[in-house]
Amino acid sequence: MASDSSLEKNHKRKVHQAAVISWITVLVSDYLAVNHLPIPTPQSPILLHRIIFTTRMLVPTILPLLFGVAIIMKTRYTNYLTMGLNPVHSKGNYLLNMANRYMHNTVEQMIIFIMLQYTLSTLLSAEYLPIIPMNIFLFVISRFMYFVGYMDEEGPVNRAYGFTLTLSLNIFSTFVCLFLLIIKGPTFDL
């Protein structure tokens, strides 16, 4: 029983470390994007230009979903006789279940993330718009890291960094949106 307790403590420690590293990653990356990286953004104060920019920048967020679909297709093709024709037949297949769970979580996180990036694009001034492409880059990386950790049968806690990085991005974006909404008001730039 003591080994279970120490294993649980070790897992909690890893998740806590992943959360701290995730927050540092988000804050440092967004700081670098705004102050030191030459990320091209529209300098126009026109709201439509910022929304078009964000729409174009959001294209890479589809990559984790396409990756998940490819993994599911490969898994079903590889196991064609048992699940290729009837995926319900082999519900116990670990790889297919994990890929499906990854896809489900990625869709949920992606919906939240995209809504927040669009909201940011309407509230941020032009000088802070580089935050959006940086957040998108981190989102795509975090989803791939989450997948790699999720597929690790030995240590499911290894998905913690990918998950906490996505969660940190969404929480950070939410707080920035709420702060700017309170400061600037809902009619800002309209």
Q: Establish if 3 belongs to a structural domain.
A: no
Q: Both ends of the chain: CA-CA distance in Å? A: 61
Region 116-127: mean pLDDT is: 95
In the predicted structure, residue 89 carries a pLDDT above the cut 70: no
pLDDT band with cut points at 50, 70 and 90 for residue 13: very high
- List, for residues 143-182, the tens digit of each pLDDT value: 999 999 887 777 778 889 999 999 999 999 999 999 999 9
Torsion of CA 136, 137, 138, 143, to 10 degrees: 90
Q: Establish if 105 belongs to a structural domain.
A: yes
Q: Establish if 30 belongs to a structural domain.
A: yes
> What is the pLDDT at residue 38?
94
Number of domains in the chain: 1
Structural domain harbouring 115 = 12-184
Supply the pTM of this predicted model: 0.89
Q: Establish if 4 belongs to a structural domain.
A: no
Q: Establish if 5 belongs to a structural domain.
A: no
Structure-model confidence comparison of residues 74 and 23, the more confident one: 23
Q: How many residues does the chain have?
A: 190
Q: Establish if 123 belongs to a structural domain.
A: yes
Taking the CB of residue 143, how many other CB atoms lie within 10 A of it? Answer: 25
| CATH (domain of 154) | 1.20.120.550
Q: Establish if 38 belongs to a structural domain.
A: yes
Q: Establish if 137 belongs to a structural domain.
A: yes
Rounded mean pLDDT of the chain?
Answer: 89
